[in-house]
Amino acid sequence: MRLLVSVRSATEVAPAVAGGAEIIDAKEPSLGSLGAVSAATLRAIVLALPSTLPLSVALGDPADAASVAEAFAPLAGVAPHASETYVKLGLASVRDVSAAEALIAAALEAASRAPARPAVIVVAYADHTAAGAPPRDVVSRLAAAAGARGVLLDTWMKDGRELFHHVGLSELRRWVVDAKREGLLVALAGSLSAEGLKQVADLPADVVGVRGAACIGGREGAVSEERVRRLRSQLDERALQPV
């Protein structure tokens, strides 16, 4: 399972990489679960990122096709990356399935025109009712039908409650298995604690994403090399345990 660490600036890239992050995610935590960084910040993060590591970019929760185009605008200055590039698109406040389909289609179209040709990851929220978003099963079905690269399950409200406050381990495992059966890359996040990370590590997901657990001072703090290394070690130790 690959470890994704969200950074809000270029200065956080080095400690994240040194600690063992395998995907660097550009995100502004003060703007919510999928807060987008500015175009200038994104360019700086890309310059600081080793070419061998994948780049992920949070695009927020666009409301319509025009908002999707606006969210993709900073990617116009991002050249093709030697490794993978991903964009994360949320569906908060999009209750209508047809509207969600249209947003995903708009994102795929915008991605095809962006210089980096990023793969689209559609974000489902474990607390989808609060987010006004479609349930996770619907999101994974729509992502697969549209041809998106993958799906991420996250928490919309960043109030200290982690992923497992909203979804049990057995139903989460079932969702992961079903999404992978659809051919999707599956990522999990959501204010995960050390114990939550252990549970996620036992699931057949491809990626686990963290921000707060990797920082001194929580998600609004600064990425710590030591904390990232500890998280990477936890994942590695779990992977070595007999099933």
The tens digit of pLDDT for each residue in 29-42 reads 999 999 999 999 99
Mean pLDDT check: name the lowest of 55-69, 112-126, 187-201.
187-201
Task: Report percent pLDDT > 70 for the chain.
Answer: 98
Mean pLDDT of 182-195: 94
pLDDT at 44: 97
Q: What is the pLDDT of residue 217?
A: 94
- Residue 62, pLDDT above cutoff 70: yes
Domain boundaries, the chain: 2-240
Tokens 């992502």 map to which residue? 143
pLDDT of residue 81: 79
| Residue 241's pLDDT band (cuts 50, 70, 90) | low
Which amino acids are annotated catalytic? 27, 88
pLDDT digit string (tens) for 85-109? 999 999 999 989 999 999 999 999 9
Predicted confidence (pLDDT) at residue 243 exceeds the cutoff of 60:
no
Between CA 154 and CA 143 the distance in angstroms is: 15
Superfamily of 2-240 according to CATH: Copper homeostasis (CutC) domain (3.20.20.380)
The model carries a pTM of: 0.95
Can you state the angle between helices 136-146 and 169-181, rounded to 10 degrees?
A: 10
The number of angstroms, rounded, from the C-alpha of 98 to the middle of its chain's C-alpha atoms is 23
pLDDT of the residue at 184? 98
